[in-house]
Amino acid sequence: MGATSRASQAREAAERVARHSYGKLVAYLSARTRDIAGAEDALSEAFAAALDQWDAVGIPANPEAWLLTVARRRMVDTARQRETRAGAAEHLKLLADELRDAGEGSDIPDERLRLMFACAHPAIDRQIRSPLILQTVLGFDAATIAGCYLVSPTTMGQRLVRAKTKIKQAGIAFRLPEHLEMPERLDAVLEAIYAAFTEGWSDPAGTEQRRRELAQEALWLGRLVARLLPDEPEVLGLLALMLHLEARRRARRDHQGGYIPLNDQDPSKWDTMLIAEAEDILLGASHRGRIGRYQLEAAVQSAHAIRRFGRAPDWTVL
């Protein structure tokens, strides 16, 4: 195998892990230390090392675990170099415990949901909670997030840095909120999930792998939150909304890639299984007795979905 081919395979393997596991690795690396920025920096260095070493010696059997091990070691080295002697002891102990507890073949627990709720903590400025989730859990860069929220990349970057510093300095725990804490944090979590889905759904033809996987990642997170909070109607409403939208992905572009408006789409191309799942979930949400934004949006999509079964939408019911 030529050097160019090996380098290409190493790069593709690293990109694949980044797409699938970036947020999972950041969440796990920072779960004990609450040092999100440190975890991101260490992981970035681990990816750089992977491009060099995987090219030279081959791609490891478990690339995710390899990156985690290297990133942990980088975090330990950085803590030793930068922390004061008085302040480093506890931080180093946590990192050393992680290195001792995990091997390269270990399964990596998924801490993303806990990280999301940590980013939505009341101590974090309300306006930065969803952007923070988008960056730490889903790997959005500051410039992309800034475009979504109509601020400059520099301003967004500064806000994100301050929020990560706040989590570390305040010792905000990565845990699921108690019942009374949940409503305040949930809005930011749902907003971030929907923003990620919208970014992924903007490539309806599925030709951009990163965007397509973002939509699937958002659906996965939506299902996860719904399992955690099965009686929260807005969680169910958001999941139903995303499923209705995803069901129409194949019908949104013609053969030349042109956009097809909803009313002109071929309903036979809509996914009936996703529609049925969305309808069941939305029905369950309606029984909870609290109407919200996501339920209303899902209800509009539900009215359109009836076309899949040969009937016209009845707008008088909305």
Specify the pLDDT at position 105: 44
Structure tokens at 125: 């400025």
The pLDDT of 257-269, averaged and rounded, is 89
Going by C-beta distance under 8 Å and a sequence separation of 6 or more, which residues neighbour residue 42? 29, 71, 72, 74, 75, 78
Residue in the block written with tokens 């079964």: 309
Q: Is the pLDDT of residue 6 over 80?
A: no
Contact call for residues 138 and 194 (beta carbons, < 8 A): no
State the chain's maximal CA–CA distance in angstroms: 72
Structure tokens at 34: 């609450």
Query: Per residue in 175-198, pLDDT tens?
Result: 888 888 888 889 999 999 998 898
Name the more confident of 83 and 65.
65
Contact call for residues 247 and 305 (beta carbons, < 8 A): yes
Say whether pTM exceeds 0.95: no
Distance of alpha carbon 110 from the chain centroid: 12
Domain ranges of the chain: 3-101, 116-317
Specify the pLDDT at position 183: 83
Helix, strand, or coil (residue 243): helix
Specify the pLDDT at position 99: 52
d(CA 208, CA 133): 22
For residue 259, what are the β-bridge partners?
253
Query: Per residue in 249-258, pLDDT tens?
Result: 889 888 887 8
Specify the pLDDT at position 95: 53
Q: Which helix (H) or strand (E) holds 253?
A: none
